[in-house]
Each structure stands twice: as structure tokens, then as C-alpha cells.
A and B are shown apart, each in its own frame.
Chain A
Amino acid sequence: MKRITESDLLGLAESLVRFGKANGAEEVEIGIGDGREFEVDVRQGQVENLVEAGSRSIGIKIIRNQKTAFASSSDLSEETLHRLIKNAILRAGLSSRDEFAGLPSPSSIRIAPQSLDLYDPEVARLDSQAKVRLALETERIALADKRITNSHGASFSTTEAKSVLANSNGFSGEYDKTYCSLSVGLQAGDTDHLVEDFWFSSETHFGSLETPEEIARTAVERTVRQLNPRKIKTQRVPVIFEPLRTSGLLGFLFSCISGVAIYQKASFLLDKLGQPVGNDKITVIDDGLLPGKLGSGPFDSEGVPSQRTVVIEKGVLKNYLCHTYAARKLKLQSTGNADGNSVSPNNFYLEPGMHTPQEIISSCQKGLILVRTLGHGLNPVTGDISRGAFGLWIEKGEVAYPVSEITISGNLGSLLNDVEMVGNDLEFRGSICGPTIKVAEMLIAGSD
């Protein structure tokens, strides 16, 4: 078995594009991912797992007569790759002709990867012992708090990833990205009255990570504030979403404005371009060009340059997020959100407002701060939301006590119109993020 030993992955991708063309494909796209991963999990002061690995995978897209076939492999032997390409060319013949299929047209825009500042050499330089110490330190600080009764452990992980892409329309590009993450999960209370939560920080640059001290303190605070929860009666009240919960809501919004969901008619935001879908406090952006941010990159998985796209502007739906195929179906332009066969967010966020989280809480006579949710219960076709929830009850503008074993329900469509206040506390903790928001009213189901 001949193995590919070239370290020149871009050269490999380009040669496979040529191989596909030579064997009868009209259009060929080859993407290669090459990653080095490290993860350490510690628990109760001991290393539990230590994982170190390198892996590569390759994705292949073949189009012939407007018929598409995909293939992928983590076996990079020439024999396997050539067989997969030949198979894909044959299989494409069995797909149906689809006038919308095809690679993106060449673009004159080229974004220099360096301008995005996504690679931190310090992440690559960190030695294993230093990484283990970070995780141990984080957990040690958290467990020193007497209110914490057990630990799910702390983890530190790093990834160095190279993304390579070449296609038969002449695109050829690559970029490197680093990722690091430090987290800890905790429990408080006795076995029959456990509460739990976690905190984390993840960044492209090691220097931007929160310190073990900050992460441990936040995790402890988030956990113990849920101790001794009460059940509340079924009622309608204002609900404040903490930033992580706003992010969750935005994740659901993303699944409803993805061009794929739109052409599949699987979204309640179908046929709503140019129309108000929320009130004027709602401005949602997808931006793949923010330097140093987790969701940034110079181009998407089809080689379309990243861009900043206004999705909702002061409540009006401006754009769906599309890859080339969805865009052609909808007679729109690709927004540079291709991720293989699906559409993914770059940095997808709700623009912050002016209020501090404290002002938002003070504005509530009675209400719920949503701190965690459990379960699924999101339906993009209708926009309906129904989830298990944990929260903090507010009375007279102050946190009164924690509540649990409740559900919250509502509809994303109405919710976007019912946002009364938007916080100023936006942080880019992942590729989807939002600040604190207050929603006028949602239905809380609890006890009788």
C-alpha cells in the first residue's frame, strides 16, 4: 500500500483535482483537514485522561453533468483516494441532474489568512506539563471552596488545525488555526439535592484565555447559586436570558435562517426577506472576518471568501446564510457559510445594547433569570420552543431564590418581537454568541 508522505497537502489537493478531471469529472473540489490535538482531563487532583493525536481527513466533491457525488476518507493512501474519486465519478451518474449544482464561480477577493490572526504559535509551544498544571490549578481553586462537594473534573485542550482546499475552478488556499479551551464542571449539595454547572473559556490565542482563577470562581458561583431550589407555580412572567442562554437562542435562530432550511421549507422564517421578524432592538450579524475570533476564517469549505453579513437589522430580516447551492436555489449570493454539505455560522451574534445586566435585573418586579436549559424541544418549522429550565427567581428587582424542575415555552417568532432590553455584555465565547436579553413574557410550567 503506497502511502502519501507529502507534507505538501495543498499540492496533494491540487493533484487530486487534476486526477478527478482526468478521469471524467467536470468539477472537482478537494478539502483536506490536518489536525494535532491534545486534551487533558483531571479530576480530584489527578490526571484522568491524557489524549494526544494527529489526524487527517479528506473530503471530495465530484460533479458531472450537474450530478453530484461526495466522498471522504481518513485513509490517505493513494490507492484509496484514487478509488474513491473514480467511484464518485461513477456514482455521480446515478444522481439526478440538478441545475443548481456546481462549484462557486471564482472570486477576485482573496483574504490573507495572516490578517485574521487565527494562529497562535504559543499554543503549539505549550508543553504537556504546563497544560496539565492549568487544568489541575483550575480544579484545585474550585474545590478549595467548601460549598463545592464534587467535581466533574477540569479539562484543558488545544488543537492546531490546517485547512486546505483546491477546486477545478482554480481555487487553491490554505490556512492554519489554533484553538485552546479550559473548563471545569462542579457539583454542590448532598447526593439527593445535587446542583451542577460549569464554566469555560475558549479562544484561538492562549493569551486571551481566562485564568484558572477566573474560570474556577465563575464555575463555583454559577453552581452554588442554584442550591436549595424551589418549584414555582405555572405562570407567565418576563424572562431574562443570560449570555450563554441568548447564545442558545441564537443557535436556534441560525437553524431557522440557514439557506438550507429555507429551500427545504423547514423554517418558520420562510419567505420573510425584507420583512420585520422582530422589534428594532434585534440586529443579528454573521461575520467571518473578526480577527482572532473562533468563528473566523479566510474562506469557507467551498473557497468562498468570508464576509460580514447583516442577517437581521433593527428587526428586519435582511439575509439568509447560504452556501453556493442554497444561494442558487434561492436566487441569492453565497454568504461564505459553507461547511461541507451544510451551512454553518462564522461569528453569529446579536449586537449588544446599552444596558448592564444589573439594570436589566433591576427592571423586573417579578421574573425569571434563565441560567440553564435541559433537553431539546426546538422546532424550526414552527419556531416553537419548549425546554426544561433552571433559573433564578426575581422579586422587586433582585434575585430572590433559585428555581428548578420547570419548563419554559414560547415561540421564537413572538420572542424576537418581545425583547425589551438588550445587554452590553456581549463576549465571543464561541462561534454563536449574544448578550443578556430580557423578554417581556414567557410561559413557565411548574407545580399546580
Chain B
Amino acid sequence: MPAVRVRIQTEDFDLAAEVAALRAGDARVGAVCAFVGTVRDRHAPALAAAPHADGGASPVSALELEHYPGMTEKAIEAMIDAAQQRFDILGARVVHRVGLLQPLDQIVLVAVTSMHRHESFAACEFIMDYLKTQAPFWKKESTPEGAHWVDARVADDAALARWGIRAGNAAR
């Protein structure tokens, strides 16, 4: 029975345990690539909605993540299927947290196994680029000026376009 490939949860995750579970018993695996996204304590400087001319940023004290239960899991499953068709990978799993998070917290894990490194490097980035623009999650940041919904970034659409997939998420 295949392991669950996608989990959406409020609890933290353990990178080593997730990778161990993904590799478990599969001696074909010669490469594991894992990406962990974490909560920054500042805005991305490119965010037009919250320009801070000092090049710094207003501190983010908390991040709240909302998602669309049901659709989120389906969307990410489809992304993993797409990665499996495109790259010669052996396994993949995605864990994404929702709810209230704080700077330094882990948000997302994408882990991929393959026989050789190039495939898992590429597939990991592919899934992450896909997730950024097509998985139904929304972030709300709390700052000293108040809470606001994070704007989508055109750069994330461009990242997916590199794989030949049009996102159109950040566009009007």
C-alpha cells in the first residue's frame, strides 16, 4: 500500500522522520532532495502592498495560514503525479502546515527520492514552484501596523513558467 503522499496539518513535522519514511525499504533510492520552507520575520522587499523604503521591512510577528480542505490535497496529489510523469523519481511527499505560525517555524516540506540526484533536485523544485501558484493556501501576516493578506508574487508565476506551465496566479 502506498504511503500517504500529502498531509495538511497544524502540527510541526520532523524532517529526518519524513525522509526516513519516504526512503524506507527502497534500496533503489540513491538520492533524496528535501526542501523546507520556514516563516520569515520580514516581508519580501518586492511586495508592492507594503513598501518599506529602508530596504528592511516591518517585522512579522505571526503568520496565519488558511487553506481549502479537500481541494488542497487533490491539487498537491496532482502536482506529484505530474512530477512523476515528468521526472524519473521513486517517491515524493509533501507536508504543509496551516493555522497560526511564528517566525522560525517550519511551514512546508517537499521531499523527493530518485536513483540519481538530478531527478530529485528538479522534481523537488518543480513541485514547490507548482505549489506556490496552484495550491489553495493563503497567508495572513501580523505586523505592528496590523494584519494583512500576503500578495501573490509575479516571480512565483515566472518560476512555474520555466517548466512550461502557465500559472496566471498573481496577474489581475
Q: Do A and B bind each other?
A: no
Residues of A within 8 A of B (CB): none
